[in-house]
Structure 1
Amino acid sequence: MRVLILAALMLLGVTLVARADTAPSSEQLPPNVEALLSLLADPGVQKWLETHKAASATTPVPPITTQTSHLSHPLADYVRAVRGHIHGLARALTTLPDEFAAAWSILVADAEKVGLAGLVGLFGLFAAAAFGAERLYRRATSGFMTRVAQLDVATRRGQLMVLASRLGHDVGRVAVIAAAGIGVFVALHYWPEVIEKIVLACLLAFIIVLLARAVLRFLLSPPGKDANDLRIVPMDGESARFWTQRLGLVVIILAVSYATTLSLSLLGFSVEAREIVAYSLGLGLLSVGIDTVRRAPGPTIVDAAADGEVLVRAKTSVGLISAYFVLLWCLWAFGAVQLFWLAAIAIGLVWAIAIAERIVVHLLQQSASSGIGAATPSAGATLLSRGIRFILIISGLLLLAWAWNIDLVALSAADTPPVRVAHGIISAVIILLVADLVWRVLRTLIDNQIAKVRDTAVVQTEETQRRSRLNTLLPILRNFLWATLAIVAILMALSAMGVQIGPLIAGAGIAGVAIGFGAQTLVKDILSGVFFLLDDAFRVGEYIESGNYKGTVESFSLRSVKLRHSRGPIFTVPFGVLGAVQNMSRDWVIEKLSLTITYDSDLEKARKLIKKIGLELAEDPELKAITIEPLKMQGVEEFGEYGVKLRLKLKTKPGQQAAVRRRALVMIKAAFDESGICFASKAIQVSSAGGSQPDAGVNADAALHDAATPQKPVAA
């Protein structure tokens, strides 16, 4: 019954005003049309028209006065067109009752061809065929939908299969209703001509509403308990329900507007009268849009009370969007159709691109558990996102050309200066869009590769060293690719627009030579950086020393390197002033220690204790992975003034020697104390002045011993 109710409401809405004041007439033509025809057939009227036409042809056109000469012709023409449009609408308001009466007469006359019973029977057959076919379709596909409901939605593949199946089922339902409805019109030849066209328009509007509902269910609010997992556009259930209802209402208003204006045209309404009805429906659409913006769920509205700044932003955003909607309606109502389409397509394109990117990120973004450490978009997701953006922009331009009545085929065949300029601008836009697509894909590939090697493991292996080198070179490669693509894209766009790029390239070469002479230091820094990178002198994350500068390499630019000191300061050092670089983070590090023990200590026992401690450190779970050669005593370094100086060494991974050294010193101190081996220290003996034995000996143990004096590590 929905199609029948919709058609009946459409017909009643068109004729309510006429039935309030005018009784139906059985005449085929309205009275005012018959009066006009009779006047035109009168010989006296025809003679007067011919005389008036001849007189107007001989009357000279008055020149343009100086009062309006300051206005440009396009602006003056537009102002006159808007004024005439408004006057036409005002005149049409006075004739609306007569036009409704005439439309009612046409409907009554058309319905009398089959009679009331025949008309009711036709509507009954139409409704029975449409909804009967829908019921059969539901029964036939019930088993399929049961199997779809049992699919596993834990994976993205299963979710897409369920969504595609439900969308196909809904589209098939609409197709069955449309086929059944159209089949009634093809099979039955008893429809009155005007009513048949009106019902077909209503059927088309109803099909559009059903298709929009299927698409909205697919994108925003799929049915079932797994609605949140199956939603294409990422949002919560309340927001999805809100936007499904509001967007569905917008589609219904647009469909009803289309069916209404087409029906009024079939019923003989004038253009101005149809425009008045369309503008009235547009006001309803405008009110729905403003109310939707005001009530739209989101953090900027819900959390506005907790943050005054957010409240200001929310109110400003709602006000601006509402004003934009009002501007669209005013442009449409005042006849500025070209500006209306430009503004409407612009805001629609922005929203479509934003929604498409959210959908792509939601569906194809890599998860944080993929091993990268953070969610990063894949190259496929970037390619799809930018490809959709490219398609949407081209579609928007084609739609704008259609709205402005621009014949692109004829325009491309013409060879006039404006056509060449337009062709160059379109080609330049396409070139820039393709360049943006290529850059986004390349940047995503490089960023993903950098993310894989950003958290390099502590244990240095050949694979981690290779990744570290990539982490050093890839940012520079990314900057180089961006500069190259930007220059090539700009030059190609200028060439497409008809600009001769040969002189530009020659001028750039001359300017480059002049800049090279004036910026020798900059050139030296850049070239030095290139050779440092080619020699693989250092990488990001390595500790280097060069002259007065030392620290961990954090990042590069074209002319300098940033070094982070161990105390926190960061140095930005040009490559040209680095000079010889000492890399402390390559391959391995040898740490050398010195111990001074007393002369009466057992050297062999000390050697065995140190060797034992070295083996224990090498087997320690925390230090085993970073120890290359265990701690051992190399021998006696020298006989000092207070004791015997021993030399020790150990070999570790770069940057890890301090941890092993600290643990070794603690263990050596404990082992020597337990074994009776004493560290040497200064002792001062004081005697009396008379040469007698001292009353007491004072030991000034100043703790200035060389028990554990580490030396500077030796790096490869």
Structure 2
Amino acid sequence: MKWLLSFTAAFLFALSALAQTPPVGQQQKIDDLVRLLQDPEVKAWLDSRKAESAPVTPASPAGNSALARWEAGARERVNAVLTAIPAIPAEVTAAATRARREAAGRGYAPVFVIFGGLVAFGLAAEAVYRRFAARREALLGRLIPVGIFAGAMGIVFFAVEWPPLARVTLLAYLSAFILFRLAAALLSAATIGSSLRRRLLILFGVISFAIATAAVGEPLGVSPEVSSAITYCFSVIGLLLGIEAVWSISDGSRAWKAARTAFLVVLWLIWCVNMKGLFWIGIYALVLPGILNAVGRMALSFTSDPGSLRGILVARGARAAVIAAAVGWLALVWHLNPDTLGQRDPMIAALFYGCLKSVLILVVADLLWQIARGWIDRTLRVSTGTTSLAPADAARRARFRTLLPIFRNALAVAVAVMAGLIVLAQLGVQIGPLIAGAGIFGVAIGFGSQTLVKDVINGVFYMLDDAFRVGEYIQAKDYKGTVESFSLRSVRLRHHRGPVFTVPFSELGAVENMSRDWVIDKFRITVGFDTDIDKARKLTKKVGAELIEDPELGQHFIEPLKMKGVEQFGDYGIVLSFAMTTVPGMQTYIRRKAYAKIREVFLANGIAFAQPTVQVGGDDKGGGAAAAAQAIRAQQAANTAAPAK
């Protein structure tokens, strides 16, 4: 890294030294030559001589091809750059002298002194802001000082009427310096290593300085060939910085690092031959994934809930904006380079623009899908807890839990199909025959899979009829269980003992829903024939009131426990009938509690439960007992008399 920075510093120092110490006599001759070349009559004469001396070569079929013309243009461009490299010192010297003389002639200091003064004024304004403003650690706290710095310099710059050449030079290099400061602020907020951050900052500084130098070349009188040569020299510096970063901080084996190095060299060669579109595609493949991840993490710092609508819009919207900016820049580069190989072929140009539009379509489709899926997921999470809601609200949320997963799957398919068709249309594919063919193919599939179609259609009608929802207990033919989930063709039932049934909709038939709205639970208790019926009714009413007042059970009652009356006379006693109305799913638990309380209250108040008895003997109901008692007394008398003998 040190040798690379030393090379960069030496290169820039050499350019500045050549610009500040020009030979006086040579400079006078250069100024006279430039003034002479700008004369209209001299320009016209030179153009006529160039047209007369141009060699006429017969056009060959191969020479007229787009590839041959592009190859000839690229070769001419490279030769012009190589020829112009030795002229860089003289051109830079002439440009710097021209700007300095113009500034000195109007009473201004040299341009580099003015540049230093403006930067110092901006830094002073930034220091004052940091002194009195509250400290902020977020990204905004890093960007505001840069804005203060740029604003202070901008006020002074636009308030003074600078000489034309000085104005252009200052504007270019001040803009480059502000962009460099802005990149430094953004990189400081990114979660990357310090070594990588430092290298990226150096690379961006070189790129900013190179762009500013290329921008001021034409106004300062630098020839286009020399400007291109300077740009190529800066590109070599950028390539060396990239290679050094690959071998210093990149992970992987030596072979992987060598492959990355080769990729960078190939990208540089592509840029040298003016294939700018392909060059930027390679740059995107190299850096865009990391930029998207960094932008996504940075955007999520502005929201506390990534799953909310705001979080999705901020994170996905920021990434979509980065992709849209990349696509726009690629289209601008393609449009501003009409002499590239792809621009000469209408088919390649149409395919290129179709690909760019397709990327934007996919980005928009992904953003819409993420928003819809986020809303569905949030609604499903909210619809999970229904214990403290009114029955109508609980039913509506259960309906959401049933239909929203199916709607989410159908929406995903619809978005994917629509986006795919639009992308194909942008790529030049006629989608009308595809749609017609898909219809015919769908009819054929329908005839071949009638059972599947029957399942799907039956499922649609079950959903329209609201026959069951997720979480309800149903019974259909030999299947019963709690509804866990749906698909387009089947329902998943969990039996209360654990097994899971996946039943196609066409196999359900009539559905018995045991969990809808309310449940009437009835049970019977047998008491003795001598039971006071009115007393049992009053005690049952008391038990029902206690169950209603229970904080755990009371919220599940719709109508309290009541004794309906005598159901029948049984073999061992009177059968009493009881009933209560509860919310679905709680009747069994409440019935167990009711059994325990009824037993406790009945026994405490002298109401005996009927038990089966067996009577042995004829009409003399007490004879058997008397005979048994007589036998026992005789045995006791015999045992008493035995010791006396």
TM-score norm. by structure 2 comes to: 0.72
Residue 206 (str. 1) matches residue 177 (str. 2) = yes
Alpha-carbon deviations, 1:505-531, whole Å to 9, x = none? 333333333333332222222222122
- Distance in 1 of aligned mates of 2:120 and 2:608: 104
Residue 516 (str. 1) matches residue 516 (str. 2) = no
Partner of 1:282: 239
Residue 180 (str. 1) matches residue 180 (str. 2) = no
Report matched runs for 1:46-195 at 5 Å: 123-124=112-113, 126-132=115-121, 134-135=123-124, 139=128, 146=133, 167-180=143-156, 186-187=161-162
Residues 527 and 609, structure 2, Cα contact 8 Å, conserved in 1: yes
Partner of 1:254: 207
Partner of 1:393: 323
Stretches of structure 2 that go unaligned for 5 or more consecutive residues are 1-7, 30-48, 618-622, 630-645
Residues 286 and 326, structure 1, Cα contact 8 Å, conserved in 2: no
Partner of 1:440: 370
Residues 573 and 610, structure 2, Cα contact 8 Å, conserved in 1: yes
Partner of 2:268: 332
Q: Could you tell me which of 492, 497, 504 is aligned with 1:574?
A: 504
Residue 14 (str. 1) matches residue 15 (str. 2) = yes
Residues 632 and 650, structure 1, Cα contact 8 Å, conserved in 2: yes
The alpha-carbon deviation at position 340 of structure 1 amounts to 3.1
Residues 130 and 145, structure 2, Cα contact 8 Å, conserved in 1: no
The 3-state SS of whatever aligns with 1:654 is coil
The alpha-carbon deviation at position 382 of structure 1 amounts to 3.5
- Distance in 1 of aligned mates of 2:248 and 2:193: 17
Distance 1:328 1:137, change over 3 A: closer
Residues 597 and 679, structure 1, Cα contact 8 Å, conserved in 2: yes
- Distance in 2 of aligned mates of 1:505 and 1:632: 65
Alpha-carbon deviations, 1:33-81, whole Å to 9, x = none? xxxxxxxxxxxxxxxxx9xx99x989x99999xxxxxxx9969997997
Residue 642 (str. 1) matches residue 581 (str. 2) = no
Partner of 1:556: 486
Partner of 1:376: 307
The 3-state SS of whatever aligns with 2:26 is coil
The 3-state SS of whatever aligns with 1:454 is coil
- Distance in 2 of aligned mates of 1:579 and 1:457: 31
Alpha-carbon deviations, 1:247-295, whole Å to 9, x = none? 434433433455677899959969667635531343124424664555x
Distance 1:577 1:344, change over 3 A: same
Alpha-carbon deviations, 1:529-550, whole Å to 9, x = none? 1221111111111111111111
- Distance in 1 of aligned mates of 2:172 and 2:11: 10
- Distance in 2 of aligned mates of 1:593 and 1:399: 78
Distance 1:78 1:548, change over 3 A: farther
What letter is aligned with 1:206? F
The 3-state SS of whatever aligns with 2:554 is coil
Farther-moved stretch of structure 1 (656-665 vs 483-492):
483-492
Alpha-carbon deviations, 1:461-502, whole Å to 9, x = none? 212212222322222233333333433443444444444444
- Distance in 1 of aligned mates of 2:61 and 2:353: 39
- Distance in 1 of aligned mates of 2:615 and 2:549: 45
Report matched runs for 1:178-327 at 5 Å: 178-180=154-156, 186-187=161-162, 202-216=173-187, 220=189, 247-258=200-211, 275-276=232-233, 278-288=235-245, 291=248, 293=250, 323-324=259-260, 327=263
Distance 1:128 1:489, change over 3 A: closer
What is the alpha-carbon root mean square deviation over aligned residues? 5.2
Residues 542 and 584, structure 1, Cα contact 8 Å, conserved in 2: yes
The 3-state SS of whatever aligns with 2:456 is helix
The alpha-carbon deviation at position 652 of structure 1 amounts to 0.8
Partner of 2:409: 479
Q: Kindly name which structure, 1 or 2, has the bigger radius of gyration based on alpha carbons.
A: 2
- Distance in 2 of aligned mates of 1:684 and 1:200: 116
- Distance in 1 of aligned mates of 2:426 and 2:89: 59
Residues 516 and 584, structure 2, Cα contact 8 Å, conserved in 1: yes
- Distance in 1 of aligned mates of 2:171 and 2:496: 80
- Distance in 2 of aligned mates of 1:108 and 1:415: 42
Distance 1:279 1:271, change over 3 A: same
Distance 1:288 1:179, change over 3 A: farther
Farther-moved stretch of structure 1 (355-364 vs 266-275):
266-275
The 3-state SS of whatever aligns with 2:468 is coil
The alpha-carbon deviation at position 628 of structure 1 amounts to 1.5
Residues 143 and 182, structure 2, Cα contact 8 Å, conserved in 1: no
The alpha-carbon deviation at position 425 of structure 1 amounts to 4.5
What letter is aligned with 2:371? V
- Distance in 1 of aligned mates of 2:155 and 2:103: 26
- Distance in 2 of aligned mates of 1:240 and 1:498: 45
Residues 328 and 340, structure 1, Cα contact 8 Å, conserved in 2: no
Partner of 2:559: 629
Query: Percent of aligned positions with the same letter in both sequences?
Result: 36
Residues 130 and 180, structure 1, Cα contact 8 Å, conserved in 2: no
How many equivalent residue pairs? 585
The 3-state SS of whatever aligns with 2:383 is helix
- Distance in 2 of aligned mates of 1:477 and 1:327: 45
Distance 1:649 1:681, change over 3 A: same
Residues 264 and 274, structure 1, Cα contact 8 Å, conserved in 2: no
Report matched runs for 1:471-510 at 5 Å: 471-510=401-440
The alpha-carbon deviation at position 355 of structure 1 amounts to 3.3
Partner of 2:26: 28
Residue 526 (str. 1) matches residue 453 (str. 2) = no
Residue 358 (str. 1) matches residue 297 (str. 2) = yes
Residues 473 and 482, structure 2, Cα contact 8 Å, conserved in 1: yes
Alpha-carbon deviations, 1:587-646, whole Å to 9, x = none? 211112222233344444433332211110111011110012222222222332233322
Distance 1:637 1:289, change over 3 A: same
Residue 465 (str. 1) matches residue 463 (str. 2) = no
Partner of 2:281: 342
- Distance in 2 of aligned mates of 1:188 and 1:75: 46
What letter is aligned with 2:268? W
The alpha-carbon deviation at position 240 of structure 1 amounts to 8.6
The 3-state SS of whatever aligns with 1:573 is strand
The 3-state SS of whatever aligns with 2:555 is coil
- Distance in 2 of aligned mates of 1:545 and 1:290: 68
Report matched runs for 1:410-421 at 5 Å: 417-421=347-351
Residues 206 and 238, structure 2, Cα contact 8 Å, conserved in 1: yes
Residue 677 (str. 1) matches residue 607 (str. 2) = yes
Farther-moved stretch of structure 1 (269-278 vs 547-556):
269-278
Report matched runs for 1:593-604 at 5 Å: 593-604=523-534
What letter is aligned with 1:275? Y
The 3-state SS of whatever aligns with 1:363 is coil
- Distance in 2 of aligned mates of 1:416 and 1:433: 26
What letter is aligned with 2:326? G
- Distance in 1 of aligned mates of 2:266 and 2:429: 40
Residues 19 and 97, structure 2, Cα contact 8 Å, conserved in 1: no
